[in-house]
Amino acid sequence: MSNQPVFVYNKEVLQYRFYQEHPFDQFRVLLAKDLIEQIGALSESQIVTSASANVEALQRIHREDYIQAVMQLSEEIPDPDWILRAQQYGLHDEETPYFRGMHEAAASITGGSIAACEAVMTGRAPHALHLGGGLHHAFPNKGAGFCVYNDAAVAISHIRDKYQARVLYIDTDVHHGDGVQWSFYTDPNVLTYSIHETGKYLFPGTGFVNERGEGEGFGACVNVPLDPYTEDDSWMECFKRTIEQTAAVFKPDLIVSQHGCDAHAFDPLSHMHCSMRIYKEMPRIIHEAAHTHCDGRWVAIGGGGYDIWRVVPRAWSLLWLEMIDHPMLQELDSTPDLSLPEAWIQRWQEQSVHDLPQTWLDNVNLWSPMPRRSLIAEQNLRISTLAMEYVR
Ligand SMILES: [Zn+2]
C-alpha cells in the first residue's frame, strides 16, 4: 500500500455550470488547487484523473427515465417534448436548470467520486480527495439544490456492494445531506450523518433530529440540526462529540466525508456565523476517526460553498493539508495569523469581487459577537444529545 493520498481532478469539473451568474461555481475547485500548489503541497504524482460514471453506475441510485431526461436535456437544442418534461425532473427552475453538456459534466463528477473510493478501498492510497464531488441534494428521480447526479450516493452504493463495506457518510455542509440520507434510509450498512443549519430556516427543510432511519436502517441515520447564528465553539463542540460517538458505535470500514463550507459567516446562502477555524478542525477529527476505526480509509469530497474567493479556497486547502499531514497545520496552531502566499493573492485579487483574505484563519476578534450566544449553544447541545439517542 502506498502511503500517499491522492487528489482526484478532472478538467470537466469546470463544465458543470448552470449559467453565468449562478451561485454554484466550480471555478472554486481551481482556486483551491492553485492555492495548494502555491504552497508546494501538491505534486504531479498525487493527482489522478478518472473515467466518467457509466449509466449502469448511475442507475444504482437514479431512475432510468431520469437519466434519460438528463441526457436529452444536455443536447445543444433539446427536443421540445423533453423541455416540457424538465419540470417534473426538477430541471426547469432557476436553481437547478438544465444546461448543455449537463449529463457529461455530472457523470464525470460522479466518476471522480467512485475513483476516489476505489483508490482507498483497493489500498492504492490511504485517503483520497475529490473536490468536484459532494452533490448531495440529487434524488433518484429529480435534480435539486444545484445537484444533478448524486455522486456521493452512487459511489457509496458501489463500494458497499463491491466490498461488502460498512460506510460512514459524514456531511458537514450547512445544508442537510438529504439526497444521500434518503438513498440509504433503510440500509443498516450505510450510516448517514449530517450536521447543518436547521431545516426550519434553510433549504432543503429536512434533517431533523427525529429522522433516524427506518426498518433495518433505524439508528443508522444521524442528524444534528443547529440554530442560525451558531459560532465556532458551539459548532465544534457538537460536531466533535457526535462524530466521535457515532464512529465508535458504528465501526465503519470506510469514511466518506462531504465538505461543503457554507456555514462560514461570509457565505451568502446560510445564516451561520462560523469562521475558517471549523474547516481546519473538522478534517482533523474525521482524519483521527478514520485511523482509529477503519485503518485510515477516508475519502473526502467537496460540496456547497458560495463565497468562492474568501472561503472555499482556504477551507479546501486546509482539508488537503490535513489529509497529507502537512507541517503547516502545526504552525497554524501556534501562529493563527499565518499569511496566505502572496503570489496566490496577487494572481486572483483583480478578478475577485472581494478583498482577498491575507491569512489562513479569520481573526474573529474583529467580528461583532452574536447576540444570544449562550442560548444558541445550549440549544445546540441539547439537540446533539438527542441526536445520539438511538445511534447504532
Ligand atoms: Zn450547502
Q: From ligand 1's centre to the CA of 273, what distance in Å? A: 14
pLDDT tens track for 41-58: 999 999 999 999 999 999
Q: Cα(128) to centroid of ligand 1, in Å?
A: 21
Q: What's the whole-number mean pLDDT along residues 123-144?
A: 98
The helix or strand, by DSSP H or E, that contains position 7, with its residue range, turns out to be strand 6-8
Q: How far is the CA of 122 from the centre of ligand 1 (A)?
A: 30
Distance 327 CA to ligand 1 centre (A): 29
- Average pLDDT for residues 130-153, to the nearest whole number? 98
Whole-number average pLDDT of the chain: 97
Which cell is 26 given?
466550480
DSSP string, 201-256: TSTT----TT----GGGTTSEEEEEEPTT--HHHHHHHHHHHHHHHHHHH--SEEE
| Centre of ligand 1 from the C-alpha of residue 77, in Å | 31
Residues of the chain with pLDDT > 90, as a percent, come to 98
| pLDDT band, residue 1 (cuts 50/70/90) | very low
pLDDT tens track for 332-355: 999 999 999 999 999 999 999 999
Using pLDDT thresholds of 50, 70 and 90, give the confidence band for residue 208.
Answer: very high
Q: Which residues of 28-60 are buried (b: 16+ CB within 10 A; e: fewer)?
A: bbbbbbbbbebbebbeeebebebebbeeebbbb
Could you count the other beta carbons within 10 Å of the beta carbon of residue 12? 20
* Model confidence pLDDT, tens digit, residues 56-96: 999 999 999 999 999 999 999 999 999 999 999 999 999 99
Amino acid symbol at 142: K
Q: What is the pLDDT of residue 2?
A: 64
Does pLDDT of 306 surpass 80? yes
231-266 per-position pLDDT tens digit: 999 999 999 999 999 999 999 999 999 999 999 999
What spacing in Å lies between the alpha carbon of 388 and ligand 1's midpoint? 23
* CA proximity to 168, closest of 186, 146, 188, 151: 188
The catalytic residue positions are 137
What band does 275 get if pLDDT is binned at 50, 70 and 90? very high
Residue 101 pLDDT exceeds 70: yes
